[in-house]
Structure 1
């Protein structure tokens, strides 16, 4: 190409129809000699400067009034480092030319990104501070294989897509550009002329920070530093450790009383972490804090999955919150949503004009329940985008584990779809084989790259092997929410006690499959929204009975095999449904002698007891850790079982789910011994009637329940007892 391209070529460049701006702009050897070309809209003059000595080399000629400049450097034959002195509105600025820098993406990265096996795609894609040839700037890269042109636009170039079109790497569809002098903290987007010729303005899928809604731009920011794994925190995630999770929505846990505004990450670090530590929870689970456009989605429709939401502060502030939890000995779990995303125009939908991140056919790509789009797990780059994000939160923020949302909606093609409105897989089945492969790959990656981190599946079906290793045909999760236990037991507890005798199996059925997976018992946010009432609101009877039922239920839950999860507000028996726009009703605790304070004290003591006594957790996933003592007394709605640790130490758990005290209730036990009541949900300390078995209880050589020895207990009304064997 000559030093002065024709009008059609310049018009194609400016309009975004020129395929390779780097072949035209910058410094090039031509038949006429060394040529420098620049596209600088609104500039009145441009001078070429030798970067080594700062001397003027030549003036560039304005070839096109729309801002295209060019010059032949007659006395130079070899390319050299240069700068441009550009005059805009009578002010002259010396700038670095982005089009003098070579390709940015290394061959190995290019290969791995296209193959979908790059463990850390976020290190190459997105916006990264960089030094090239001693020049500071930001390196941008975005995947948009079907775009006609992609430009970086931002406050540094007047949001003008003509100024900085990017280089396309045709081997993988990635567009890249290094922009000198751009600094961290500046707003930017990608202006895309898509495959249909339409112009789209998109936020960066890999942005590490985003604007506060309703604004939608990305911010340039360095990648967070790696947080090294901690052995103690890793051990706290293990199957044989006590795991009691406090699930929290940061925007509504507590708000400022004067203006109902959110607490900041810093205020949450000061208030929330101390509260969780005081209550004895071992883990805190954060509802999605990934950047999301709509408050009412609670974070479950994220569009900036690499950016902590700005609602509560900066990424550094969020990192400080995590560090505060770790200093308090609390592990942090993050709700993670790789199943769907909203269709907002600035986001991933039709990113380059094609269905790039989502399935094209709405029978595969549209979530009818949530009116969101489903990721196309069959694309290497999409799987890489998501799997890399999982590792990102673990490595770069020190998150200790991920709770993966709506797994059932991912692995079944007919999830919530009537016949004829879904597409079978290539075997004719209803499983989404690509999503299953993605989950296995992600869990394998987490397991091999971040030792001690865990993934937890919210999976509501009987899909086999959710917590089995991928090499054994499983999905590779460490834990699974036990939705069956939650549904069955809540249905039972909602019944008037007089009817519970007819539904006894709802409390025992979970033990039929208790060891098929590694379970977490969840009473989550899903159980206190959409007209379901609060957990307290589901309990039958008068107010005293409601609280007694709830305390007995919590005791049964903490005694039952499986890790524990309680949504915020449940720990003090919030009366109303959760509202994401309001604080929890902390005023209910103003009366220290009231029933809400009693439930709060109970949950704290349950956590303390749970952490202190290994039989309650050590063999959660083993048949050896559990034995029914009374499983068939439906007439009295009584349940009794033993929990054991590795050394044979035992705790007896007994629940009476009727409002009738039962003195002299005999329970057969495997061997003689002395027992001590260590927790009674009917204690007056918890606002109960204070019926129980204070002190020691000795076994008797009195056969009962097909056993030679037994104990005789007083069972309080609507209560659960914990008794530890001491001899």
Structure 2
């Protein structure tokens, strides 16, 4: 053997070979005695199988036995062939050292296919990387089925595939390193459902923890963390008639869901009331399709938004610390099962939005952290690469490979899972270099500022790419600061998001509602302030999971007073929310007035709805109100069509501080306006005059104090006629009875 071959063989033995194809497989060789002036030509087949006692080579096309291979060194078997040999593809019959017999197709004969150049569309690297099921033609024989593995690890000394198909033995399948930093290997016979990981050694040859596939489409549940081979093309979609929805002129009412705790499959606890026990398993994706989707449709929402369904090792992170960014969590089923859930949503008229986390990733050993022994995906400097609040790594947005990994992932969910949009988590933490850092703990940008310029560029590229491919999709920023232009196009120097969560509205309005009604007069402006800046962004009004965890209690618990006042206040608040410009978001359980803070290990307070009590009546009434508000919101263009047009909203009464009354008009195109009047005190206001823009009869569309909602039933029944009494800048006005702690929607006859 030459020194080169000897060196490669030593690397194979040591488990750190980076160029196995230089030695193994079919190679042309020069034959003849040493010093011959007329050397001949021939072929040699070299096979690496350290667990083999004997190896026989068989022609894959003709099934002829070519011969027994000679072991020339421990684990290395060789067979010489004439130059005229027709052998192109072969399989091996092996007698192992444990005296077991088996056959397999040798991976080292497919070098031409492994290194064939493949066009990869920008930001669609998921179509190339990871574990991909392929068929390689063994001309003139049958196709060889298997998996092409590719992994990016430019600083590794070596990479090997280990899995259920090779006994987790890294010696058997070393990968070939290339100048582009991508390691490659095709392994025949590997198929759907096989488990695998990657064994890497750093530049110094030190063995690293086994890594899951960054592009893995399917993953084990803890304590396992292997990736699972998955056929992305297997599922047959039935949503051909679906179109993305959620444009600015359309209604968008989002039901935010944590799949593991919406409802659980539980045994009855044996009580006389037939209540549920405290323990139970999570519903599967397909069970959720049968139960969650009809419920959300019945409640009138247009979309569901899922807390991150990407694979994550720690259940308590709710998905916000994902390791498998390309894999829907297998807690609830397979990727096909998740596709079935999305498919059913679309067939039922529901859009699907995913929470997506490009701001950081956890430090679990099998994840992306120091992936090839270097900070490959994260910033090396902890002032940029480590998040002090969440104890997680921060992506290095300046690296092309990292940008490609993340933007490809965003397109992956839209391409392969038909997702309608992404709500991007923790955008504020990405935008500022000093986010949650004290002086001296962060490094200014090149201009001396605190803006994270690389993250800003990444977010712009992300939105340009998504909207370039899917103009009707939506991207939503969870951004809590006053960063300008979050939802403006990038050509106007914005970040390019479709929408932004209005955290200011959420905070101010909830703070207002927390006050006892008699003190709300001193905080009157808190409900009005949002309209001072509303038109600066395309806002979504969020009442999200963040408001019902970590000791914050429930939305109902934020309302003061006894049960009647709390439920009445919450009903009035929802009425105000659905009338306020901007799209809507409610976290699950808000629609039934949950009494207990959300627990990701439990389920919602569904027994409330079954209670034959006053509280049960209130809960059922609140659920009915949310259902009716959604239907009203979707039916009347005035409530959604001009959300971001200054002509779509105007205050009628904003100065009735003493009585805590607000009145405003919503308009939408040529459709009739809707008058909304809110009374945030428990006092009934008789003979309350409100100016209106149209003469004639007006009717109540909805009144949150209706008895069907658990209210006191103070309504304005029948037709209300305008009087020619000037009020609030209009020549005519209505005289109303304002119910206590309630919102009233009225519309003129047309």
Aligned partner of 1:684 in structure 2 is 707
Aligned partner of 1:30 in structure 2 is 29
Please state how far the C-alpha of 1:10 moved relative to its aligned partner. Answer: 1.8
Aligned partner of 2:207 in structure 1 is 199
Q: How far apart are the structure 2 equivalents of 1:16 and 1:474?
A: 50
Q: How far apart are the structure 2 equivalents of 1:338 and 1:228?
A: 30
Does residue 67 of structure 2 align to residue 68 of structure 1? no
Q: How far apart are the structure 1 equivalents of 2:91 and 2:2?
A: 21
Aligned partner of 1:556 in structure 2 is 576
Given that residues 239 and 347 in structure 2 are in contact (C-alpha distance below 8 angstroms), is that contact kept between their aligned partners in structure 1? no
Does residue 125 of structure 2 align to residue 121 of structure 1? yes
Aligned partner of 1:189 in structure 2 is 197
Q: Which sits farther off after the overlay, 301-310 or 418-427? A: 418-427
Deviations 1:441-482 (A, max 9, x none): 111111121231111111111111111111221111111111
Aligned partner of 2:51 among 30, 35, 42: 42
Please state how far the C-alpha of 1:84 moved relative to its aligned partner. Answer: 2.4
**2:546 partner SS:** helix
Does residue 477 of structure 2 align to residue 468 of structure 1? no
Given that residues 306 and 389 in structure 1 are in contact (C-alpha distance below 8 angstroms), is that contact kept between their aligned partners in structure 2? yes
Q: How does 1:208-247 map to 2 (within 5 A)?
A: 208-224=217-233, 233-234=243-244, 236-247=245-256
TM-score, normalization by structure 2:
0.93
Deviations 1:105-129 (A, max 9, x none): 55464xx6xxxx7231111001111
Q: How does 1:483-632 map to 2 (within 5 A)?
A: 483-591=503-611, 594-632=617-655
Does residue 656 of structure 2 align to residue 657 of structure 1? no
Does residue 188 of structure 2 align to residue 180 of structure 1? yes
Aligned partner of 1:294 in structure 2 is 314
Does residue 80 of structure 2 align to residue 80 of structure 1? no
**1:548 partner SS:** helix
Aligned partner of 1:370 in structure 2 is 390
Q: How far apart are the structure 2 equivalents of 1:678 and 1:142?
A: 59
Q: How far apart are the structure 1 equivalents of 2:249 and 2:260?
A: 33
Q: How far apart are the structure 2 equivalents of 1:397 and 1:379?
A: 27
**2:52 partner SS:** coil
Given that residues 486 and 521 in structure 1 are in contact (C-alpha distance below 8 angstroms), is that contact kept between their aligned partners in structure 2? yes
Please state how far the C-alpha of 1:232 moved relative to its aligned partner. Answer: 5.3
Please state how far the C-alpha of 1:69 moved relative to its aligned partner. Answer: 1.8
**2:55 partner SS:** strand
Q: How does 1:98-497 map to 2 (within 5 A)?
A: 98-101=107-110, 102-104=112-114, 107=117, 109=119, 118-133=122-137, 134-170=143-179, 172-200=180-208, 201-224=210-233, 233-234=243-244, 236-258=245-267, 259-497=279-517
Q: How far apart are the structure 2 equivalents of 1:4 and 1:285?
A: 57
Q: 1:505 to 1:105 in 2, by over 3 A?
A: farther
Please state how far the C-alpha of 1:91 moved relative to its aligned partner. Answer: 3.6
Q: How far apart are the structure 2 equivalents of 1:347 and 1:256?
A: 32
Please state how far the C-alpha of 1:173 moved relative to its aligned partner. Answer: 0.3
Given that residues 671 and 708 in structure 1 are in contact (C-alpha distance below 8 angstroms), is that contact kept between their aligned partners in structure 2? no
Please state how far the C-alpha of 1:214 moved relative to its aligned partner. Answer: 2.1
Q: How far apart are the structure 1 equivalents of 2:236 and 2:446?
A: 41
What is the aligned residue count? 717
Q: How far apart are the structure 2 equivalents of 1:267 and 1:565?
A: 24
Q: How far apart are the structure 2 equivalents of 1:106 and 1:509?
A: 61
Deviations 1:572-591 (A, max 9, x none): 11011100000111001113
Q: How far apart are the structure 1 equivalents of 2:243 and 2:88?
A: 54
Aligned partner of 1:717 in structure 2 is 740
Q: Which sits farther off after the overlay, 85-94 or 630-639? A: 85-94
Please state how far the C-alpha of 1:199 moved relative to its aligned partner. Answer: 1.6
Q: Identify unmatched segments of 5+ residues in structure 2.
A: 32-41, 138-142, 268-278
Q: How far apart are the structure 1 equivalents of 2:242 and 2:82?
A: 68
Q: How far apart are the structure 2 equivalents of 1:228 and 1:510?
A: 42
Deviations 1:381-422 (A, max 9, x none): 111111111111111111111111111111111111111111
Q: Identify unmatched segments of 5+ residues in structure 1.
A: none
Aligned partner of 1:672 among 664, 672, 695: 695
TM-score, normalization by structure 1:
0.96
Deviations 1:144-186 (A, max 9, x none): 000110111101111111111111121x200011001111110
Given that residues 226 and 396 in structure 1 are in contact (C-alpha distance below 8 angstroms), is that contact kept between their aligned partners in structure 2? no
Please state how far the C-alpha of 1:427 moved relative to its aligned partner. Answer: 1.7
- Across the aligned residues of Structure 1 and Structure 2, the Cα RMSD in angstroms comes to 1.8
Does residue 18 of structure 2 align to residue 10 of structure 1? no
Q: How far apart are the structure 2 equivalents of 1:320 and 1:194?
A: 41
**1:325 partner SS:** helix
Q: How does 1:701-716 map to 2 (within 5 A)?
A: 701-716=724-739
Deviations 1:604-645 (A, max 9, x none): 111111111110001111011111101111111111000011
Please state how far the C-alpha of 1:228 moved relative to its aligned partner. Answer: 9.4
Q: How far apart are the structure 2 equivalents of 1:214 and 1:367?
A: 25
Please state how far the C-alpha of 1:17 moved relative to its aligned partner. Answer: 3.7
Given that residues 266 and 317 in structure 1 are in contact (C-alpha distance below 8 angstroms), is that contact kept between their aligned partners in structure 2? yes
Deviations 1:533-571 (A, max 9, x none): 100000011221111110000000000001110000000
Q: 1:661 to 1:423 in 2, by over 3 A?
A: same
**1:583 partner SS:** coil
**1:11 partner SS:** helix
Q: 1:248 to 1:640 in 2, by over 3 A?
A: same
